[in-house]
Chains A and B, each alone.
Chain A
C-alpha cells in the first residue's frame, strides 16, 4: 500500500500540467461575487428564526387574542412573562453575535467546525426556549379560562350556545387549547429540527470524524 500511495503521489504531482487555468480577469471577477457558504446560510436562517416569533404578533388575529388575555385577568402575568422573555431573547442574540464573530476560516478545520456548531447551538437553544414559551402561553390561557367566570362573554359566544352548560364550554375550550398548543409546538419543532439537521449534517459528520481520535 505504501508503494501504491507513493506512486499516486508521483503521478499527482505530474498532473499539475493538466489542471485548468484561470486568467487574472476571471479571478478578479470572482472576488466580488457573493459567498454562499454554510455560515452565511446559518446566519440568515438564524435571523429569521429570531424574528419569526415576534412577527406573529403583527398578525391581526393574534393581536385580538392579546385582548383576551386582559379579559381573562392575565395582563400582569403576561407583562412579567414578556419582560423576562425579551431579556432572555436579547441574551440569546448577544451570544449568537459573539459566537458568530468567532468563526474564522483561518482556524484549524476542527476549531472551525466547533465554532460553527456552537453558533448554531445558540439558535437551537433559542428555539427550545421559544417553543417552551408558546407552551407556557397556552398553559396560562388554560388556567385563565379555568379561573374565569364569564368565558361565554369573552369569546363572544353569549346567546349562541345556550343549550350547553358553561362548565362544558369551559372544559371544551381548555381541551381545545391544550391540543392546539401541543400540536403547534410539535409541528413547528418538527420543521425546525428537520431544517437544523439538513443544514448541519455535513458539519456534524466531519466534526465527529475529527473528534473521534481525540478521546
Chain B
C-alpha cells in the first residue's frame, strides 16, 4: 500500500515538477537555494499527500503547498545578494526569438518581479500561471476584491521599479 502511494506521488510530482521549479526560480537566487527549496516543497507535498483526496487536480493542490512553503515555511533568508549568473540560466532569452529591445524589457521585468515582497511575488506568479482571481484569493486567503486591489498595487509597484 505504502509503496503504491510512494510510486503514485513521485510519478505525479515528476510530471508536474515545473510548477515547483517555477516557484523556486522566483523565490531563490542561486542554485543551492533553488534545490534546497525544491526539496523542502517536495517534503511538504509528500507529508500532505495522504490528505490529497483527488477532489482537486494534483497540480492545483501543488500550487498551494508550494507557495505556502516558499512564503511561510522556508527558512533561508532571501536577503542574499542577487547573483546574476543563475538568473540568466533560468530566464535565458533566446536572441533569435526576440529583438533586442523586447529582450531587454523582459529582463528588466523579471528583475523587477524578483525585487517584490513574498506576497506580491505570489500574486504575480499566480497571474503569470493564468490563474483567475477566485483561485488567487483562495490560495492566499484574501477576498477576491482585495486580490484585485492588491494586483493593481503590484502593477504600480512594478511600474515604479521599472521607471524610477
Contacts and interface: CB of A to CB of B under 8 A. Distances in A.
A63 interface: no
Interface string B19-51: 001100100000000100011101110111001
Contacts of B90: 15, 18-19
Contact of A109 (B17, B67, B91, B159): B67
Interface string A99-116: 000001111111111001
Contacts of B43: 30-31, 33-35, 37
A24 B105 CA distance: 37
Interface in B89-110: 89-93, 97, 102, 105-106, 109-110
Contacts of B134: none
A209 to B, nearest CB: 4
Contacts of A30: 38-39, 42-43
A27 B17 contact: yes
A168 interface: no
B18 A105 contact: no
Contact of B9 (A21, A31, A110): A31
21 contacts: A4-B109, A5-B155, A7-B102, A7-B106, A15-B22, A16-B18, A31-B6, A31-B46, A33-B43, A34-B43, A36-B75, A37-B43, A37-B74, A105-B73, A106-B48, A112-B72, A206-B117, A209-B118, A213-B146, A213-B149, A214-B143
Interface of A: 1-2, 4-5, 7-9, 11-16, 18-24, 27-28, 30-31, 33-39, 41, 104-113, 116, 202-203, 205-206, 209-210, 213-214
Interface of B: 6, 9-11, 13-14, 17-18, 21-22, 25, 34, 38-40, 42-44, 46-48, 51, 61, 64-65, 67-69, 71-75, 77, 89-93, 97, 102, 105-106, 109-110, 113, 117-120, 122, 127-130, 138-143, 146, 149-150, 155-156, 158-159, 162
